[in-house]
Amino acid sequence: MKKKFVAFSLCIACLFAAPYAAEAQRFVVKVRPTHHRVAVVHPIAPSPRHIWIDDEWVWDARRGEYVVVAGYWAAPKFGHVWVPGHWKDTRRGSYWVTGHWRRV
């Protein structure tokens, strides 16, 4: 019984800590990085229902900067729409908000 209580308590703690962990992952930069795009040719979609997820910025801790991750095809989640990633401005600078699926 004690093991179940401890496991349950850990699960609850993780659920409440998750939003704060995500908040801690925001890396603010004074100057937004630039992405030099050349002509982008998307590979053929795996199926007609797939949608193209455009390039995203990801924080590279080794380099201490945002780097571009190439776009890809994804199958939509039922009852969801894709919200593209975007830059969010603050008084200290800007940070990247990762694209995500939003329930409709």
The set of residues, in sequence order, having a beta carbon less than 8 Å from that of 22 and lying 6+ positions away, is: none
The set of residues, in sequence order, having a beta carbon less than 8 Å from that of 14 and lying 6+ positions away, is: none
Instruction: Kindly report, residue by residue over 14-58, the tens digit of the pLDDT.
Output: 444 444 344 446 899 988 888 766 677 889 999 999 999 999 999
The set of residues, in sequence order, having a beta carbon less than 8 Å from that of 55 and lying 6+ positions away, is: 35, 68, 69, 70, 71
Maximum distance among all Cα pairs of the chain, rounded to whole angstroms: 61
Put simply, whether the predicted model's pTM sits higher than 0.75 gets the answer: no
From 19, 95, 83, select the one nearest 53 (Cα to Cα).
83
